[in-house]
Amino acid sequence: MLLDALRDFTWYNEPHNVRFIEEGMIVEVAEQTDFWQSAAHNFHRDNGHFFYTEKTGDFTLTLKWHSDEPLAFAQCGVMVRLNNLNWAKGGVLSPDLYKPQLGTVVTNAGHSDWAVSPLYDYNADFWYRLRRKNGDFIIFYSVDGQNFQQIRLFHFLEKADTVKVGAYACSPQRAGFRCILENIEFS
């Protein structure tokens, strides 16, 4: 990963341990971190790690994460955010440690939904793509960086010309999750 690509990025909830190696940026994810808003269950978390930049207008962000063995619900992926009540994320998570799933969450007006799909080709490397076009967003994933599959199309109810977009990581239950951001670029 080129360090120049990171020049315009900053942290929301910076992890305590971030370091750079030849392959990219290693993130040691803090335990009991997440992004989730649920008014019905009175459960609100906004303490996950988010490495972002601000973008206006249409864009496509592509990034690559490498992650260690999965921990329950630990995840890393792509995120777009207007504020704590309006955001979306997509990534791989493993609720039961045996069957990793693709998961997306879209939060509008402080209410999060959660959609999952089975993951047939699990590997330690995942590419994510987030595209904004005419105010709509699409999240894609790939296991090879070439063939991307759409996993979510959504729209925020709140309008915003400028959004925060980048890579996120969190571990709602346990310590010890480590991931490496190997690439991040806009096109």
What does the pLDDT look like over 21-32, one tens digit per residue? 999 999 999 999
For residues 114-141, average pLDDT:
91
What does the pLDDT look like over 65-75, one tens digit per residue? 998 777 778 89
Whole-number percent of the chain with pLDDT over 90: 74
Cα torsion for 156, 159, 160, 164, to the nearest 10°?
-20
Provide the residue ranges of all domains of the chain, joining segments of one domain with +.
3-186
CATH of the domain spanning 3-186, picked from 2.60.120.200, 3.40.50.1000, 3.40.50.2020, 3.30.300.30: 2.60.120.200
Instruction: Work out the pLDDT band at 139, boundaries 50, 70, 90.
Output: very high
Q: How buried is residue 34: exposed, middle or buried, by Cβ count under 10 Å (0-12/13-18/19+)?
A: buried
The model's pTM: 0.94
What does the pLDDT look like over 61-105, one tens digit per residue? 999 999 877 777 889 999 999 999 999 999 988 776 667 889 999
